[in-house]
Amino acid sequence: MKRSFGWLVVVIFIAVTAEGRVVTGDEVRVADIERVKPVLGKRLVMCEPFAETPIGTPGEPPTYTARYVKGVIIHEPILFDSSNHGYGWYLSANEPVDYAGGYLMAVYRKYNTGTTGEIGVAIWETADSLHNMMICGQLNANPPTGPGGRGRYPSAIATLEYPYALWTEFWDPAGQDPKYADGLMSVDELGWMQGFWTPPMDFAENSDPGIIYGLWVVMADFTVDMEGIYHIITCWEESLNSNYYTFIHGTSDDGIIWTFENASVDITPYMVPAMNHPQVAYGEDGFTIWMATGRLPEFEDFRILMGKSYDYGETWVDTIYHYTSFDMGIPNLIGDTLWLVTAEGDTVAGVIDSVYTGFTYDQDVTIAPDGSIHFVDTHVYYVKASSVSSSWYWYVPYTGIFDFHSEDNGVTWTASKVADLNGFEPDDEEGEIETTNMVDIAADDQGNLYVAWTDRPDTGLVESPHSSNQYDDYYFRNIYCAVSTDGGYTWGEPIEVTNTPDIPEYSLHLCRKADSDKGGTIYIGFTVPDLTRPFEESPQMLADYVQWLYVVEINGLTVGVDEVTRWVDRFVVTPCIASDKVVINYVVGDEPNARLAVYDVTGRELKQIELKDRAGRYELDVGTLPQGTYFVRLTTGNVVREAKFVVIK
């Protein structure tokens, strides 16, 4: 039986008590922390109510507003916490956000003045546009401020019944040697929004420690078979940056108690000399895949690699399948001269040699409900510069983001372009043509596909003081997304999720599960570095700064706003009790006669608010109003919606 929790919301200005605390949207700030005693032998991890500023981070976070773009509703991004730096989310391999059945979750490394390794989790109910949230911290197996308790590279798995958090945690007493790190998982055993997180389970507990060393950077997927058995497949790199990988399969009868297989090393540098961290995905009836870009010993070029299993990842087919650009539907050889452009816009001759196309480091994979495989990647020109180096390397520009999809389990492939990227052609005069992109793909229950990525703005470039990560990218970037409603063959026009060329949106993670409700809904997590507060003394990249953590909901991608507005809660007023201000979030779509006004309890109109945008956020100063009850009324055409708030003194 699930335990229910009582909670009292008296907003920012009054003392708060919380047990299994659920808070409302505009309280997204950390306040005092209360520990709750363990129940039934399980520990209830720390749950935090919110007040003015995320813990330990006194800087000013960027302010976003709701937007209405090309018929799509982009809700106000929710600031939920902060992190000491960006290393927990900057990799594309781990998946720290996920969604299922009306709940969204994010697993991350919380800001903590004593450590960089405290694992936290944030959970939202999505029915009211992320305005109910719970935050928990210190999921670690050992105290994060002590030896061997430092968490790293978290991932999330959201299921209909339970949220799961996965991460790496040192067991080296010094907390430094990557050979000594456990792959851990915790689950809220009472279900969503309860706060009863189990002590972490060890993925390698049944494996020979002489074979399985430190487990790092987890990628995972989850399914339930026809007999009700829960399955989880995970891919870990052994001893960070070693290029040794292991796939560990786990099963459970109830989703709480798990048994993990006796794992072994599955991929070595002798088998695959160079490879990005594999992504894993479950299909139907036990079909399981891993995919990555990498290089096999017998070939010089990077290819798309794939492994297959037919028993949920318990055993794998011996063959590593590999595909060139030509195999995936794009010509390999495209010319004999590559021309480049300098940062000043001067056209210069590049290497005169055969010009090929190929794959980049960032990629993602999903299996749609119809069983089709979709591998998304950015695609580039490159040359074999035999006169310069014996290796293959890329001369950018990028050719774009592609969805490579197969309907026969990887025997044949079709390529479709998701989007051209901004300013990557040889005549580009907007600045340097080298940049990196994070890209993720998701599918909903109706088979619609969604891709999200980062790219520099198409106008108004702003130079960054550092590269985005280990690659050269000295321009701030925005977040974009696109949708396909025909199985990936054609893609809609890209939607600019953030239109902030002066804000360095940094890492991006799209939930692997989308929702066909509300006209096609996706959830994206991203970070923004606070460039006023470096984590490192001499920062070299944007990850070296304190990071603000956000999530954003996007609706209407498959149908447009005319249909989606009947599903979307497009009028939210918070908090309901206030002494200083209330915030009004609204979306009015294409309605030309929208009107927003404030009334007192007698029905007297006190203020009419001009709606300058089709979607937005308005802060109403209530500090001068007498104590009492008031109403905000939104009129759109013949529809009137009303929300109440109470002013206290």
522 and 497 share one domain: yes
**Is residue 330 a part of any domain in this protein?**
no
pLDDT of residue 476: 76
**Is residue 280 a part of any domain in this protein?**
no
Give the largest CA-CA distance in the chain: 83
pLDDT in tens, 199-227: 899 998 877 776 777 899 899 999 999 99
Query: What's the pLDDT band for 241 if we cut at 50, 70, 90?
Result: confident
- State which of 519, 544, 568 marks the end of a domain: 568
Query: What's the pLDDT band for 408 if we cut at 50, 70, 90?
Result: very high
Report the share of the chain in percent with pLDDT over 70: 75
Q: Are 197 and 43 in contact (CB under 8 A)?
A: yes
pLDDT of residue 466: 65
Range of the domain at 624: 571-647
- The C-alpha atoms of residue 94 and residue 96 are separated, in whole angstroms, by 6
193: nearest Cα among 125, 146, 143: 125
447 and 508 share one domain: yes
pLDDT of residue 70: 80
Query: What's the pLDDT band for 37 if we cut at 50, 70, 90?
Result: very low
Overall pTM > 0.85 = no
**Is residue 520 a part of any domain in this protein?**
yes
pLDDT of residue 232: 97
State how far Cα 144 lies from the chain centre.
Answer: 24
Query: What's the pLDDT band for 398 if we cut at 50, 70, 90?
Result: very low
Which run of H or E residues covers position 495?
A: strand 495-496
Q: Summarize the confidence of residues 521-541 as an average pLDDT.
A: 88
**Is residue 343 a part of any domain in this protein?**
no
Structure tokens at 585: 């979030």
454 and 579 share one domain: no
Which run of H or E residues covers position 561?
A: helix 561-564
Q: Summarize the confidence of residues 104-127 as an average pLDDT.
A: 90
**Is residue 518 a part of any domain in this protein?**
yes
Whichever domain contains 604, its CATH number is: 2.60.40.10
Residues 6+ apart with CB under 8 A from 209: none
**Average pLDDT over the chain, rounded to an integer:** 78
- State which of 547, 568, 589 marks the end of a domain: 568
326: nearest Cα among 301, 350, 353, 294: 301
Q: Are 157 and 232 in contact (CB under 8 A)?
A: yes
pLDDT of residue 382: 57
Q: Are 310 and 263 in contact (CB under 8 A)?
A: no
126 and 198 share one domain: yes
Number of C-beta neighbours around residue 388 at 10 A? 11
Helix, strand, or coil (residue 563): helix
Q: Summarize the confidence of residues 449-469 as an average pLDDT.
A: 74
240 and 181 share one domain: yes
Residues 6+ apart with CB under 8 A from 420: 400
Residues 6+ apart with CB under 8 A from 566: none
Q: Are 110 and 98 in contact (CB under 8 A)?
A: no
Query: What's the pLDDT band for 590 if we cut at 50, 70, 90?
Result: low
**Is residue 213 a part of any domain in this protein?**
yes
Whichever domain contains 49, its CATH number is: 2.115.10
**Is residue 129 a part of any domain in this protein?**
yes
Helix/strand/coil (H/E/C) assignment for every residue in 286-351:
CCEEEEEEEECCCCCCCEEEEEEECCCCCCCCCCCEEECHHHHCCCCEEECCCEEECCCCCEEECC
**Tally of domains in the chain:** 3
40 and 133 share one domain: yes
6 and 73 share one domain: no
199: nearest Cα among 210, 184, 214: 184
Identify which has the larger pLDDT, 8 or 268: 268
**Is residue 122 a part of any domain in this protein?**
yes
Residues 6+ apart with CB under 8 A from 151: 109, 117, 118, 119, 139, 140, 144, 167, 168, 169, 184
73 and 117 share one domain: no
262 and 138 share one domain: yes
In the predicted structure, residue 195 carries a pLDDT above the cut 50: yes
- State which of 534, 568, 602 marks the end of a domain: 568
Q: Are 495 and 479 in contact (CB under 8 A)?
A: no
491 and 447 share one domain: yes
In the predicted structure, residue 494 carries a pLDDT above the cut 80: yes
508 and 555 share one domain: yes
Select the highest-mean-pLDDT range: 127-131, 308-312, 434-438.
Answer: 308-312
Identify which has the larger pLDDT, 300 or 276: 276
In the predicted structure, residue 48 carries a pLDDT above the cut 90: no
- The C-alpha atoms of residue 471 and residue 197 are separated, in whole angstroms, by 37
521 and 631 share one domain: no
